[in-house]
Structure 1
């Protein structure tokens, strides 16, 4: 797909609107760990050198952290570079890991497989259980104290180019009605222009997709791979709370050919972070990741930790899983990709925030040197070079075959083979007898045909441990202004009923963890309709990834819309 087609499908190829502009040295899209770390590092470098560098961070969530969701067991390696005294400064890394468990679940059984061969870096000793959203809120405070301008509630919806280079973004468009008319509160947005623009949007960012297509950043890489992570936050009584416990599981309720697993972390004030990941290359179009998660929680080895507790938050997001094989070229004229926009998650470790922070630091160092040299809008090759020799790439190289082995061999055999391969690569400094295995299909192309599978009948939620989608979305505090154009766009509105329903059973109604998509049959006399409840969207972007016809395009809604995650 050409860059022009991508811009058309995202609705950005419209006539140019005259807008006010604000100029900065660096404009950063996304107030996650990557974007905020880059902003902080730029200001730290400028302060040390006695120079001025202007930095703006734009964030689509209503506040910093509103859209941040992760397990999260956090490796402070990146944070320690930014703030060697992070503990004294009060960084909210709440609970040190005290125990690691790795469990294989059968329908009623639970077998401890922590003895399987795994390299030392897979252990969580020295890591902390915390809310990544709260860590980002803390990072934003540190950034603002250094002089960074942080703008929450401002969606960056368009890119600004000049002479072939990225020069900025359009942020803060408001007041467009569903029919495209301008409402009384219409605002055309402003251009935030930078000598360099950092894209740190997270997984499957809409602007990142556009620059990858425009500049061919993925031409020499494997296809990107993804998972869907669904999370609940519980508060439990003392008798089941085990502070510092980290437990991961494989197996039931997923079959051996469907990749995924769970996490459960105990931290803070009797909090239990519990979640489930389904790799989005699954084949069965009748599978519902949300319902697999609800079923998982009924297992005796899991339910006992939730007994007497209360579910207080819910959310979901896609996880980038391709690894080093799928990392695109990181630099292009005028800008760079950071964090999950670049794909730096270490899938076997279930960690990415430490590499996101590291990437922000590397990009900031390269940009600061360019700014000091008087350069502007060129390609920051120093960042690409720094990544090629970084701890990020070294770490990803050690685990590069884990995801392909799981895909080829299934969960059980693939886990054993991945453990052996990671141990060898760790001992040899990166050598593997397997070389570097490739990813073959996109997750969308992996979807099987409905005729080859039987529909899955999921148990009815009990309202105690398992729940329905709508009550879950309610506690995600998700909200969008109903009178705005849908940010979930169909390239061809006829495809869901004409193609996806007969061929795949229209899996959007099942893979979406927020009940956004429905196939509605009003009565026997009418054809079914495809309904998009865009107000429910928690911005996980699974639809953009998994739709087998690649007909759904996720774009940014008005700023401030979407979930408002507390402590997630």
Structure 2
């Protein structure tokens, strides 16, 4: 095939992804030098369309980035007024008092937000400063320079034939070149994954760990609404089957975010994370809150959970990994947006100094140094062992041992338990089906609990059906030849959008349902599925996630 000819555009900095990390980088670059040419490319149909987060936002980074955010109308409207921690049994609950919690677990001063709306607002600020933002522009390839450095990306390829080839109606897209390229794609981004492998950025870090987070927005009875209340639960229904827990956040307008996280290192391939979430809502404590209300939105997203020891090198020749592309979530706090913003600011500062010195295409080691010595490190280091202890010994040990380790680190800056290893990656943690009992899940009732396809319709997901499937199998024989006999083909269950089915002995991929959570790329026991970006604008269209 003849080489594809594309037009190219030159920028100082090219940013992939209009999440909190990418937009913070763009804003900071313009604050430092308004003449810098900065472009942000976003695969969602609009900024915020693919943003899904809890979210209780710690405004520490935003305070530094834009101290006047209140005057500028940032959508941080619901300060946290009350923190609750519950351990659930099948019918009852036990409240964990707040006083033994390390201060870092306190949400006083934080805000319940829609990160999608925060990103929409940040994009407006960036555009006013002269940043070019192009939504609906998926970045499908990296462009490399003569010395092997990343020098840009290919964006805006549309109309491929079903087999992936170029046809008469294909738009080949264009190359956007930068002195530096920032990858802020979120969890398990396809270009970030390629860069980490190509430059061996994870050589000196532990394996990355993940969870899958599912979230619904509910409008509830005003009499049950308590604006500013934050509740986290652990325990039932997961029990010893998997790590994880829930969040219930009361925001404005009688709305509640109801979310459920399942750690993806579970062993039993019969586990069905989505159905665990649906079952959770039937707990008496949760059901009494939601009864009489209505679910208005649904979505799902993988979460990086490896923390400090799993952080790869964050700079590479020609660019940097920002936010969740590197993995900066503080697991016990269930927060990563503030670290994503800090990473964007640090990367911008490093790139600005480099460009001012006449550099380009090299490694921004000053950025990686700042990640490992600044506020991100201060946030992640004290909690580094909580997830690893939970994975090895379960919830109670994590609360006791991990809590002790966090407390001492919080008071002294020293972790008495050192740094624990995570062990296997989440795919390798899956055990054979015959070692475990199938789990019988109750049928959704259509009032509190819903089947997957009905819920996916509340994510407003859409994909152009004539394009090639963006979910690629390395070996098409593995799902039915290996995964079915050994693992009861868990893709049928771990996907929170019903993308994968076994129909009449065939493995079927309904890529149109995909909400871009990336769970399949992480949890497939044969590591046989690769998530790539579909054409721009496709995927979910989240309103207020």
TM-score bucket (shorter structure): over 0.9
Q: Is residue 479–residue 535 contact of structure 1 (8 Å, CA) maintained in 2?
A: yes
Q: Which residue of 1 aligns with 2:130?
A: 147
Q: Which residue of 2 aligns with 1:125?
A: 108
Q: Aligned pair in 2 of structure 1 residues 485, 100: CA closer, same or farther (>3 Å)? A: same
Q: Which residue of 2 aligns with 1:459?
A: 442
**1:182 CA displacement:** 4.0
Q: Is residue 116–residue 416 contact of structure 1 (8 Å, CA) maintained in 2?
A: no
Matched, 1:519 2:502: yes
Match of 1:472 among 444, 455, 462: 455
Separation of aligned partners in 2, 1:320 and 1:350: 10
Where does 1:30-45 land on structure 2 (aligned, <5 Å)?
30-45=17-32
Where does 1:361-376 land on structure 2 (aligned, <5 Å)?
361-376=345-360
Separation of aligned partners in 2, 1:221 and 1:215: 13
**1:15 CA displacement:** 6.8
Any runs of at least 4 consecutive aligned residues in structure 1 with deviations exceeding 6 A, and if so which? none
Q: Which residue of 2 aligns with 1:541?
A: 518
Where 1:287 maps in the other structure, the secondary structure is coil
Match of 1:435 among 418, 423, 430: 418
Separation of aligned partners in 2, 1:267 and 1:220: 41
Separation of aligned partners in 2, 1:299 and 1:66: 31
Separation of aligned partners in 2, 1:304 and 1:313: 20
Separation of aligned partners in 2, 1:433 and 1:128: 32
Q: Which residue of 2 aligns with 1:415?
A: 399
Separation of aligned partners in 2, 1:458 and 1:384: 46
Q: Is residue 217–residue 298 contact of structure 2 (8 Å, CA) maintained in 1?
A: yes
Alpha-carbon RMSD across the aligned residues, in angstroms, is 1.0
Q: Which residue of 1 aligns with 2:117?
A: 134
Where does 1:527-566 land on structure 2 (aligned, <5 Å)?
528-566=505-543
TM-score by length of 1: 0.95
Q: Which residue of 2 aligns with 1:209?
A: 193
Q: Is residue 46–residue 537 contact of structure 2 (8 Å, CA) maintained in 1?
A: yes
Q: Is residue 118–residue 420 contact of structure 1 (8 Å, CA) maintained in 2?
A: no
- Which deviations, in whole Å up to 9, do the C-alpha atoms of 1:118-143 show, x marking residues without a partner? 21011100000010000000000000
Q: Is residue 105–residue 252 contact of structure 1 (8 Å, CA) maintained in 2?
A: yes
Structure 2 gap ranges (5+): none
Match of 2:483 among 481, 487, 500: 500
Q: Aligned pair in 2 of structure 1 residues 348, 340: CA closer, same or farther (>3 Å)? A: same
**1:432 CA displacement:** 2.0
Separation of aligned partners in 2, 1:159 and 1:544: 19
Where does 1:58-457 land on structure 2 (aligned, <5 Å)?
58-115=41-98, 117-162=100-145, 163-429=147-413, 431-457=414-440
Where 2:302 maps in the other structure, the secondary structure is strand
Where 1:175 maps in the other structure, the secondary structure is coil
Separation of aligned partners in 2, 1:489 and 1:256: 33
Q: Is residue 168–residue 194 contact of structure 1 (8 Å, CA) maintained in 2?
A: yes
Q: Which residue of 2 aligns with 1:21?
A: 8
- Which deviations, in whole Å up to 9, do the C-alpha atoms of 1:90-119 show, x marking residues without a partner? 100120000000000000011101347321
- Which deviations, in whole Å up to 9, do the C-alpha atoms of 1:466-486 show, x marking residues without a partner? 000000000100000000000
Q: Is residue 63–residue 69 contact of structure 2 (8 Å, CA) maintained in 1?
A: yes
Q: Is residue 117–residue 423 contact of structure 1 (8 Å, CA) maintained in 2?
A: no
Where 2:344 maps in the other structure, the secondary structure is helix
Separation of aligned partners in 1, 2:284 and 2:115: 29
Separation of aligned partners in 2, 1:313 and 1:25: 38
Q: Is residue 499–residue 511 contact of structure 2 (8 Å, CA) maintained in 1?
A: yes
- Which deviations, in whole Å up to 9, do the C-alpha atoms of 1:163-185 show, x marking residues without a partner? 21100000000011213354554
Q: Aligned pair in 2 of structure 1 residues 555, 286: CA closer, same or farther (>3 Å)? A: same
**1:281 CA displacement:** 0.1
- Which deviations, in whole Å up to 9, do the C-alpha atoms of 1:34-84 show, x marking residues without a partner? 00000000001114xxxx100000000000000000110000011111110
Q: Is residue 240–residue 307 contact of structure 1 (8 Å, CA) maintained in 2?
A: no
Q: Is residue 202–residue 340 contact of structure 1 (8 Å, CA) maintained in 2?
A: yes
**1:258 CA displacement:** 1.4
Separation of aligned partners in 1, 2:164 and 2:190: 20
**1:409 CA displacement:** 1.3
**1:283 CA displacement:** 0.5
Q: Is residue 11–residue 38 contact of structure 2 (8 Å, CA) maintained in 1?
A: yes
Separation of aligned partners in 1, 2:155 and 2:527: 27
Q: Is residue 299–residue 456 contact of structure 2 (8 Å, CA) maintained in 1?
A: yes
Separation of aligned partners in 1, 2:416 and 2:185: 36
**1:256 CA displacement:** 2.7
Q: Aligned pair in 2 of structure 1 residues 15, 314: CA closer, same or farther (>3 Å)? A: farther
